[in-house]
Amino acid sequence: MTLDADIRPSPDALLTQAAREGRGRLKIFIGAAPGVGKTWAMLDDAQRKQAAGVDVLAALIETHGRAETQAKLAGLPQLARKPVIYKGRALTEMDLDGLLARRPALALIDELAHTNAIGGRHEKRWQDVEEVLAAGIDVFTTLNIQHIETLNETVARITGVRVRETVPDRVLEMADEIELIDIPPDELLERLRQGKVYPQDQAARALTSFFAKGNLTALRELALRAAADRVDAQLREHMAANAIVGPWPTQERILVCVNESPAAREAIRVAKRSADRARAEWIALNVTQADTEALPDADKDRLAGTLRLAERLGAELATLESERDVAQAILSYAADRNVRRIVIGRPRPRRI
């Protein structure tokens, strides 16, 4: 293959871009839990768009009685809801046909994972959003991390609560932009105690179940990871479509350097703990030199055992030959693999 062929744009990436031509752009405001401020942030962004001359329509906003959210709606035109009778109860849903007929430049559609009442054109709100995007209308929407289909089981294990309304991962992949709305768990818990998320009686129950601080911390990490994954995918798509050498992942990657020293096993464990905390990939690198073959059998066995430990703990194994500047070789390898943290144990003792 010639060099020119090597740097041509990816046909698949170009097809993906072509498929988006003519459709609306999708922005998802994603958060770890209810109450972090996703809807408020969406309305705040929409207010700025409207001030800049964009035709904005609040197609469906759920304020849940929150005064701050209701106040943020001021000045934004709102679409009347469509009345629906379901099991003898009078409900309201988004008027999809009314939205398509109105054709704003930007539609605000809250709670992407919502299940529509039976009788509507689509079962799920994300399907409504797909139709709106296909009509060339931009959409702002909101989503909590527990509603992503492939994370549903993980969230259930963390919180003990299984969320029944989910969206397929491909909906997240449709997003042209994702904005993570993140606040510390203590701040969210204080908002909950003040009745800014749920009524006081409901808030008291939530504090002892889904909104336990440990749960919120874990959900926050999941939200950060999901947002990072999507940004990383968007970067790879851009680089492939524009023939930029890469891809160049944005996620953190950890490198641990190991040799025959007994301290290398502890370095492996440190790297493993760091990788788990950061939800990052990690690499165990052994740099070989001319004198490596001359090592005593006990040292060779220790090195082999250390590498087996790293592999068992989930590391990618790598070997690098360097006859001169070992440190520079490690740094060059780290730069090539987009490593942001390097863990190094005790250097091997010099031999006389």
Backbone φ and ψ for 116, nearest 5 degrees, come out as -75, 155
pLDDT at 18: 56
Q: What is the DSSP string of 205-227?
A: HHHTTTT-HHHHHHHHHHHHHHH
Dihedral, 49, 52, 57, 63 alpha carbons, nearest 10: 50
Let me know: does 236 contact 247? Beta carbons within 8 Å.
yes
pLDDT at 120: 83
What Rg, from alpha-carbon coordinates, does the chain have?
26
Distance of alpha carbon 51 from alpha carbon 163, whole angstroms: 37
Let me know: does 231 contact 251? Beta carbons within 8 Å.
no
Give strand pairing partners of 283: 255, 316
Domains of the chain (ranges; CATH) run 3-241 (3.40.50.300), 253-344 (3.40.50.620)
pLDDT at 51: 97
Which H or E element spans position 96? Answer: helix 96-102
Q: What is the pLDDT along the chain (352 residues), one digit of tens a residue?
A: 344 445 566 566 555 555 567 899 999 999 998 889 999 999 999 999 999 999 999 999 998 888 889 999 999 999 999 998 877 788 899 999 999 999 999 999 999 999 998 878 999 999 999 999 999 999 999 999 999 988 888 888 888 888 889 999 889 888 999 999 988 889 998 988 888 887 766 766 777 678 888 888 888 888 887 887 776 666 666 666 666 655 455 567 899 999 888 888 889 988 998 888 877 889 999 988 776 667 788 888 888 889 888 988 889 998 888 777 888 888 888 887 778 889 987 555 544 4
Distance of alpha carbon 187 from alpha carbon 200, whole angstroms: 17
Whether this model's pTM surpasses 0.75: no
pLDDT at 136: 96
pLDDT at 352: 40
